Amino acid sequence: MNNKIIGIILVIAGAALAVWGYNIYDAASSQVTRALSGETPVEAWVGMVGGIVCVLVGLTRLK
């Protein structure tokens, strides 16, 4: 029972983190930075990759 609660929390937090990372990636200031220098903000990568990892760990806890 306890693992299922942790899994649900991780899935929800991971989804929110991935959305936050994508929002940073898609922001106007980030688009200007990518156009000028070709670099993506670190926060965007951390949010998207961290969110995916949290979702995957959460899904393994639910099984």
Sequence ranges of the domains in the chain: 2-62
pTM: 0.83
pLDDT of residue 16: 97
Residue 38, pLDDT > 90, answer no
pLDDT of residue 57: 97
pLDDT of residue 33: 86
> Contact 58/8 with Cβ under 8 angstroms?
yes
Furthest CA-CA distance within the chain: 50
pLDDT band, very low/low/confident/very high, at 40 (cuts 50, 70, 90):
confident
Mean pLDDT value across residues 10-23: 96
pLDDT of residue 46: 94
